[in-house]
Homo-oligomer: A and B are copies of this chain.
């Protein structure tokens, strides 16, 4: 590199040859990927189902159980309500599915609740949807992993005391896999998802066949019934509460609408068909499980899941088919958690790009994934698991409110969109925030579909909030607005900052500053001090050295040495009767700043000792650091550390 010449606006470009070195994280999460390595591939319907359905389908593993858990409080008579409640939930599922069909066709570029709300309802609803979704992704991880551990514990009861440890390890494992970057490559998703679907249909199919043929008995050796808190008799409140718990079956249904761009063309059509398949499979399995639960007299228990009781009754014992069902269920639950690991950081980065979350979330790590988001999710989910002892039943009251809030906002946004479309001229197109509105004759019908869906989910959300209020829903009801407020506070900060720093209406800095005054604190006079003095004199001719006198002997030494080595620079000695160093210096600088002229810049040059070994820092007062952090808050003062590196004598000898 030659000496740069002063060309007008010379701009050079070159590629950094820097290649990150091998390291531990390298081994754990794989070699760094270049930005150019980002994949651009699309998938078909069968693989798409596997990729996006795990969250929705896996909820069959706990939805029935949590209905039963509420009803158990009223005694076994109440168990007859499981199936009717399940039918109501499947009807709700159908309504949401039809409503989301329209979203998928209207947003071929991906229509998550955040985007649909932002485009059609404005910033506040969008941030509400964002807060709701982020909260629920965290809960998806906590609930799914806890439910997965419950399956394992059902099959291997000796592991029961280690629930929390297993769950936290599982979160850590999924985190590592995601930091490595998941290649959404079909097989990795297809095998566990289809394995689960096959095992569950086998279980439910054989179960119903045996039930019809009369050979299906009751659960042998049922586990101890767990009653959270008993109530007397069956009330509307109890049934609504059970219904609310069951609606967790719907969590994850929105996943496909987020990921439309991943599908082959025609992507909206393919995504729509996949959504219908998914809902049909989900509805069938859920109804089947709920029906059979009643048939075999399965019991709500923290020790053994409904799935485990069902499988060992249908397959008459804990054989290979039983274990297949359990492991299939566990796997799909872990896949569901994995889905949240893809969605949370992506939504976090989207909101951060919009300036509502810290910018750090937009940073893609060495493997091209949003590492900060992944790590944040893992930590919060692990804390939840520890706090709630990996119990699905304890976590469930917090869960799904957010999902239904986002369902409601998203569908209401769609309804509003149809309303706008209905008011366009025929053939007219309106491009709004990047999405194209085009007149549609059927706008009234479509608006009704989305509007009805929105109303249904809104009602469910209220049912949720009321019936589960005392058990934990209150927390989410407080948390969501707090999060929204935080998002806006962050946004205001970024916005103001950009305004203040903007060059748009900027007339340039005031007149060029020409005087430069340099202050050099000197605690003792040695080679390091002289280096700093030389640097100070390189910056300006106006250098003042300042010595804070704490010890009279030391000060005398400094004075003597300065006469020899000070190169004629003025030295001011400040007596510090209270043996403080930083404060008197700050006070002195304060004086200088006050008397500063308009065209004057002040620089404080601090000699900083850099030891060759890190622990040596413990042997030195960190005055340079203290001074810098104090001076950073003074306007118009620049602090420069002039490092002096000292190698130990024997090290030096070693090198030569």
Contact = CB atoms under 8 A, between A and B. Distances in A.
Interface residues of A, number: 119
B568 A7 contact: yes
A33 B498 CA distance: 48
A470 interface: no
Given A14-B572, A577-B34, A1 B595 contact: yes
Given A7-B570, A641-B639, A35 B579 contact: yes
A366 B34 contact: no
A544 B4 contact: yes
Interface string A551-593: 0000000010111111010111111111110011001100110
Contacts of A559: 11
Interface in A262-320: none
Interface string A584-610: 100110011001000001010000111
Contacts of A619: 358-359, 490, 493-494
Nearest to A578: B32
A577 B502 CA distance: 28
Interface string A488-527: 0010111011111111001011001110100000000111
A125 to B, nearest CB: 23
A538 B516 contact: yes
A367 to B, nearest CB: 10
Contacts of A539: 539
A528 B497 CA distance: 11
B583 A18 contact: yes
A420 interface: no
A626 interface: no
Contact of A639 (B32, B506, B640): B640
A228 interface: no
Contact of A638 (B577, B592, B641): B641
A646 B531 contact: no
Nearest to A619: B358
Given A11-B559, A568-B9, A18 B580 contact: yes
Interface string A1-26: 10110111111111111111000000
Contacts of A632: 608, 610, 641, 643
A11 B534 contact: no
A506 to B, nearest CB: 6
A212 interface: no
A563 B35 contact: no
A360 interface: yes
A364 B561 CA distance: 25
Contact of A635 (B363, B516, B574, B645): B645
A601 B4 contact: no
A648 B496 contact: yes
Copies per complex of this chain: 2
Contact of A9 (B563, B591, B640): B563
A528 to B, nearest CB: 6
A15 B577 contact: yes
Contacts of A19: 578
Contacts of A10: 570-571
Nearest to A575: B15
Contacts of A639: 640-641
Given A559-B11, A619-B490, A16 B571 contact: no
A530 interface: yes
A111 B159 CA distance: 66
A496 to B, nearest CB: 5
Contacts of A573: 11-14
A541 B642 contact: no
A17 to B, nearest CB: 7
A32 to B, nearest CB: 5
Contacts of A365: 579
A75 B576 CA distance: 65
A577 B8 contact: no
A77 interface: no
Contacts of A608: 632
Given A562-B9, A583-B20, A648 B493 contact: yes
Q: Which of A18, A19, A514, A544 has the most CB of B within 10 A?
A: A18
Contact of A527 (B7, B36, B506, B640): B506
Given A11-B562, A535-B601, A527 B544 contact: no
A621 interface: yes
A379 to B, nearest CB: 15
A364 B646 CA distance: 27
A610 to B, nearest CB: 5
A503 B617 CA distance: 23
Q: Sorted from nearest, which 9 A-B pairs have the closest CB atoms?
A: A16-B584, A501-B526, A34-B577, A640-B640, A13-B573, A10-B570, A15-B575, A18-B584, A501-B527
17 contacts: A4-B542, A4-B570, A9-B563, A15-B574, A16-B576, A16-B577, A16-B588, A35-B578, A490-B619, A493-B611, A493-B616, A493-B648, A496-B646, A501-B644, A506-B527, A514-B538, A639-B640
